[in-house]
Structure 1
Amino acid sequence: IGHSRVLYGSLRELGTPDAGTDESPSYANVPFLDRPWTDWSEFVAGNAVLDSAFTLMMESLANGNVDVLRTRLKKMLQEERYHTLHGRSWMQEVKAGAALTRAWRESLEWIGPENSDVDELHREGRLAHGVRDLRRLLEERLDGHAPPSGLEWHGWEPIRRPRSATCRRVDSPHPALPRERGREEKPPCPFCRSADTEVISLFGSQVMTMQCKCHACGSFFEASKY
């Protein structure tokens, strides 16, 4: 929430009214973050891919020619590096193929096609990187995990970012959230896929995670509460 407040307050420096004012345009969430996650692999993919894409964009702003962004984003970037380390380490452990592909696609759609507003901001010096560089840096940051190919840009909009068919307005009713898991639940082990597990703590490293132990392989892991 704190990061969002800083970023929304900085939008005016990029020629966009502050969020929350009567002048602010409609916008939409990245669909990956707008739907309840039902599997640990989705959390891993979101943390590893989407968060890395957001961090790269903030780094590009922090290295641009807008002074207020250069100063405001420094502390945020210091905190973001821990998210990157967490996401990359779990990505190597968890089989999250489908979730990673979806997170990759939506990250690229969020960055946008070449010669869009991102490249325009790059030409103006407000962003240190253009679309091609952001795509390349994201792939490097994910240790060469290849992005999906054959993206269709028909229907892509600069305000809603992803293709409009995949995007939901934030003022629409939110889908019903799944119930929170309790200690009686037995999430499968991400290492050996065994169901012989137990929840040892309802409080994990994130608000939405709980700590678990697998009796089959002896591994400890975290699982989503939802």
Structure 2
Amino acid sequence: MTSTTKRTDHAALFAILASLADNKQAIGRRYAYWCNGAPALEAAVAAAAMTQDELGHARTLYPLLDNFAQAEADLSQIEPETRTLHYHLAFLDQDFQGWSDFVATNFLLDTALTTFFKAAQDSSYEPLRQRARKIVQEERIHQMHGEGWVRRLANAGGAVRATMLRSLERLWDETLCWFGPTDDPAMQRLCQEDMLNGTPDELRQRYLSEIMPTLNALAIEMPVRFDVETKSWQPSQPLPWSHWNAVARRLE
């Protein structure tokens, strides 16, 4: 259903909300397959619950798009059933190759999106603030699940650990890029207008501080370094910005 009230002109917020909704929707769809394909009964139950959560998050975000003037270019793009634009990570374009892809998405990408929502819990944009607080609460168990399975697969050693590492590596760069480059205009505007309490670089650092203790404990080496002076994690090599699609917020 489309809005009959005057729409707000805010391209930056519209773009970020579209990316969040599309990523949540795509994650939910990829998770759904594993409700029957998970390696253990408890994993299948968790996959079903997280599928519902992710699709539910998407359903709360898509209606917000109708509040913006940018939606008027094509009103079919604000409904998930008719939307043909896909502003989710390229990693989600294809079905997961195995359970390790599920775990990597849960541990890396879902945690990255939660990092954003944590930064929006006091947003000056009330609809985002309300949704962010609810999503952050629901994501706590998702993070525990992701960490638990990363540990389980990594500690299994051999081919199981190697497969887990490949999944993490395939998703790593694109997840770090999702926060945007240092001068990302959309993210910078959200910060300036108090819709978000962190710049792209600050959100990347917060995100890395969430996941690196687990990876370090498992002796999983990723291209990052700890800056002693700033007491923060930083990418140790340039991110592939030449492949960054700023509109869709994904690597091409």
Q: TM-score range by the shorter chain?
A: 0.5 to 0.7
Give 2:121's match in structure 1, choosing from 32, 40, 62: 62
- Structure 1 residue 64, shift from structure 2 partner: 1.8
Question: Are 2:92 and 1:33 equivalent residues in the alignment?
Answer: yes
Taking the aligned partners of 1:20 and 1:80, their CA distance within structure 2 comes to 32
Q: Which has the higher helix share?
A: 2
Aligned residue for 2:232? none
1:4 to 44, 58, 61: 58
Structure 2: how far apart are the matches of 1:135 and 1:21? 33
- Matched residue pairs, number? 164
Checking the alignment, whether the CA contact within 8 Å between 1:64 and 1:127 is kept in structure 2 is yes
Q: Separation in 1 of the partners of 2:68 and 2:198?
A: 15
Is the partner of 2:244 in helix, strand or coil?
Answer: coil
Instruction: Say if 1:60 and 1:129, in contact at 8 Å, map to a contact too.
Output: yes
Q: Does 1:115 align with 2:183?
A: yes
Q: Distance in 2 between matches of 1:139 and 1:19?
A: 37
- In the alignment, structure 1 segments of 5+ residues that lack a partner are 166-226
Q: Residues 117 and 133 of structure 2 are in contact (CA less than 8 Å); yes or no, is this contact kept in structure 1?
A: no
Correspondence 1:175-194 to 2 at 5 A: none
Distance (Å, rounded) in 2 between the aligned partners of 1:58 and 1:16: 22
Whichever residue aligns with residue 56 of structure 1, its letter is: T
| Unmatched segments (≥5 aa) in structure 2 | 1-54, 79-83, 154-160, 216-221, 225-234
The whole-number CA distance in structure 2 between the counterparts of 1:57 and 1:12 is 21
Contact 1:46 1:103 in 2 (8 A): yes
Deviation at 1:136, TM superposition (A): 0.8
Q: Partners of 1:35 and 1:132 in 2: how far apart?
A: 29
CA contact (8 A) 2:71 2:77 kept: yes
What is the TM-score when the length of structure 2 is the normalising length? Answer: 0.58
Matched, 1:134 2:203: yes
Aligned residue type for 1:7: L
SS in 2 for 1:62: coil
C-alpha distance in 1 between matches for 2:89 and 2:192: 25
Residues 144-155 of structure 1: matches in 2 within 5 Å? Answer: 144=213, 145=215, 146=222, 147=224, 149-155=237-243
**Whole-Å Cα distance in 2 between the matches of residues 19 and 49 of structure 1?**
33
Which residue of the partner structure matches residue 157 of structure 2? none
Cα distance between partner residues in 1 of 2:206 and 2:250: 20
For 2:107 and 2:124, locate their aligned partners in 1 and report how far apart those are by CA, in whole Å.
28
Offset of residue 13 of structure 1: 6.3
CA distance in 2, matches of 1:123, 1:79: 28
Question: How far apart in 1 are the matches of 2:107 and 2:244?
Answer: 24
User: Does residue 143 of structure 1 match 2:212?
Assistant: yes
Q: 1:23 to 1:93 in 2, by over 3 A?
A: closer
Over aligned residue pairs, what C-alpha RMSD do you find? 2.6
TM-score (norm 1): 0.64
| Residue in 2 that maps onto 1:160 | 248
**Overall identity of the aligned pairs, in %:** 30
Q: Which amino acid aligns with 1:32?
A: F
